[in-house]
Structure 1
């Protein structure tokens, strides 16, 4: 039987002088190639520091990586069909929207658009990312979540592959380069937005990036703009907030979205996924105006809703995948990546699941309908949390997921202003893809790249910006090399 232990791709026991040299070279490479973020502790619009990264790429089983890559187009198709199935979305979210105010507001827009005759624009563009842990128990990848909005780090992790290849060579292991796969996520995601712009078919129109008031992960966004310009010099990209769209956006008689005199062909949402991003009714009005406009949305409101955790849990029910994916091989391959997903609705099944979680909290993760990280409840915190809501409908806003146990691998975590830290780490794989289509036809469906995020093994949340996580790259190993 193959063991699941994975070793660092490079021996980490090295002289301090060599380690310091490699770290400095890696930092310089990151700074000079835009693998950077804005500082949160001391904001300066003109200043950047390198994004946290691990010094060497992390070992990952080749067969499971290849399986994840091949599966992305199937998942793209699945989510496209789910998003366009009104009955399934409505049934899946019927209890959640009773208690989750944010999801309810999104669903209200969805319902309002339907009542007014349906979307003005039949085409939607989904830039997706499916996230996985490699599970020690099953020796397979298991899906953590499927992101349908603001799927980040496609750019920075694309660049990090080149940085890691450089560092590996500087460390004296050029033979390892063949096991670090190329990553074209930036080119692929930018290409998706260009394809959508061309389908809109108005040469003077622009691509609008919906952004926060202050963007800390600015490089990951801006390089998408630069790549769009490189691939398609005739298109312009503009950046606007929900507040700016609410104040200055308007619709023409035929529902074309105009802001500051420019017609918007494509809206790429890098925000709009968290309640804090809608401080007043103005921002909600802006989201509705975008949704009823002729612009192609990435994501449309139905793609956004399809990415909720409750929908993910409903898809794991018996017979549901068969409804959307007729091909048995596809159905089996998707079911194989699912871990246990459980409802907490106020019914017999939900009561049983809640009791199991309270008796065995270490086995589960409690998830709300939120994107952006930092929202889940883990371990011993689950029991008092559920105790507080078990007699309330609020529990319907959450799902339970089996806690996945990935392998722990040592690496050096490098963060701005700190000495490199040799730490026990776990890594989460993300596969990027996109789908463009109408309710009745998929026009484009592609897998375009990947990412790896690594965090300290003892922490539950591993945000890169928070300093507990770091950007990473994949180092592929064959199963007979797992020792």
Structure 2
């Protein structure tokens, strides 16, 4: 399968002396502006190292960038409606629940709180829709996935355009910065949290960030806290693990989640999206307690279920999307879908299995997971489907047509790597951030707030920066 190429924003390779000098400057800029992460191999809370980044901004068609930006409010509302359609979620997830324990546990909490009566009808969504350009389709964006929980890198990537502008100026190309779009993801995402806090309406209330036992991506999380502290100094933010929430919180007679004697207005999850983050029943009990409370959840359990791959696949089926989005908007949304197929035990599921076994390189096998590193590619798709062909396990996956983005040459700067780095072939994935706040019947806020660009080596299947597989980047918009 051939891939097209886009030209780098500057001719490569750069002169070696110039390259070494600008990388040294760029690394210092990154460290001094918080484009960093903690070292996974030599972890200490006392230092950070640079987050992997692409030295020069990567080209991206202006029309497709604009399309993604304009679509985000439509997609926000789509996922909001899906999350509040009980029948659709029940029908869509029923096969996966039988074989995916993690999704089943989330679903059980959803059922319990619905049966008890939902204490907080308002939900906060800090979403991110991810895209690759599909070369055989004329370099048009195709949706990779829609993230409804712990949508990361809004904070750090808000600094990336300024970093790229600095680098271009140092290389004598300040005239090019007009093609670098502004990125206000951090302030936009934080405004979602503070708007939800105001809706809660209790002046003594606090905001609770749910975090991992060890936070490597600390800059991206803390910048949210710093931004809120600067713009709304009266709002107190706590960081707690699910286990600490189990030990330190309680529900009072008003169903308020109480921590240190104060009600919690907003619970923002930066953890809780994968099975390893629930090592015991205590974490599940904590999640249930939060969901039973009057705190505004980001995301609510129904938002998290709406973000599963199974829902993404179901919406691509004929007529399904139109249940939620009508008219011209449904055409625009359907245009970004790539081929998505269920692997259920029915005629269409059998056809999908046969199709993937016959031409495995065309497809990606995706489980109901977030956080990167979970998908199956290439020949391994065939092996996995042959192994699961007669097992109910296959219903926990969806099959997705592989997207072939154009290649671009560039330099990836990584902590501890030799300088200068080689020129390598890269592909980029665009993420658009959105904020939505509302109930089943009323939407209070719905907006697009920023973007991120995550770039990986062309021969790497996964691209998660936090997982160590990709690099942070900024789009350089092209008129094509």
Deviations 1:147-203 (A, max 9, x none): 000000001111111100100111111111000000000000001000000000011
Is 1:478 matched with 2:479? yes
8 Å CA contact retained: 1:141, 1:337:
yes
8 Å CA contact retained: 1:415, 1:467:
no
8 Å CA contact retained: 1:453, 1:470:
yes
Return the alpha-carbon distance in structure 2 between the equivalents of residues 363 and 4 of structure 1.
17
TM-score in terms of structure 2 length: 0.98
Alignment partner of 2:288: what SS?
helix
* Number of equivalent positions: 475
Alignment partner of 1:417: what SS?
coil
Return the alpha-carbon distance in structure 2 between the equivalents of residues 477 and 151 of structure 1.
27
Return the alpha-carbon distance in structure 2 between the equivalents of residues 258 and 14 of structure 1.
57
8 Å CA contact retained: 2:373, 2:467:
no
8 Å CA contact retained: 1:414, 1:421:
no
**1:88 aligned partner:** 88
8 Å CA contact retained: 2:372, 2:467:
no
8 Å CA contact retained: 2:4, 2:405:
no
8 Å CA contact retained: 2:363, 2:377:
yes
Return the alpha-carbon distance in structure 2 between the equivalents of residues 121 and 468 of structure 1.
38
CA apart distance, 1:4 = 5.7
8 Å CA contact retained: 1:191, 1:231:
no
8 Å CA contact retained: 1:365, 1:376:
yes
Stretches of structure 1 lacking an aligned partner (at least 5 in a row):
none
8 Å CA contact retained: 1:366, 1:382:
yes
Is 1:429 matched with 2:430? yes
Deviations 1:34-68 (A, max 9, x none): 10000000111111001000100000000000000
Q: Following superposition of structure 1 onto structure 2, how do residues 371-450 of structure 1 map, counting pairs within 5 Å?
A: 371-419=370-418, 420-450=421-451
Return the alpha-carbon distance in structure 2 between the equivalents of residues 352 and 120 of structure 1.
44
**2:269 aligned partner:** 269
**1:209 aligned partner:** 209
Deviations 1:402-430 (A, max 9, x none): 00000110110000111223211000000
Is 1:311 matched with 2:311? yes
Return the alpha-carbon distance in structure 1 between the equivalents of residues 292 and 112 of structure 2.
9
Q: Following superposition of structure 1 onto structure 2, how do residues 14-413 of structure 1 map, counting pairs within 5 Å?
A: 14-117=14-117, 119-139=118-138, 140-326=140-326, 328-413=327-412
The 10-residue stretch of structure 1 (119-128 or 254-263) with the greater mean CA deviation from structure 2: 254-263
Return the alpha-carbon distance in structure 1 between the equivalents of residues 47 and 413 of structure 2.
19
TM-score in terms of structure 1 length: 0.97
8 Å CA contact retained: 1:80, 1:303:
yes
Alignment partner of 2:165: what SS?
helix
Runs of 4 or more, structure 1, over 6 Å off, are none
Stretches of structure 2 lacking an aligned partner (at least 5 in a row):
none
Return the alpha-carbon distance in structure 2 between the equivalents of residues 237 and 323 of structure 1.
39
Return the alpha-carbon distance in structure 1 between the equivalents of residues 422 and 40 of structure 2.
21
Alignment partner of 1:199: what SS?
helix
Return the alpha-carbon distance in structure 2 between the equivalents of residues 56 and 367 of structure 1.
31
CA apart distance, 1:307 = 0.1
Alignment partner of 1:166: what SS?
helix
Return the alpha-carbon distance in structure 1 between the equivalents of residues 61 and 134 of structure 2.
11
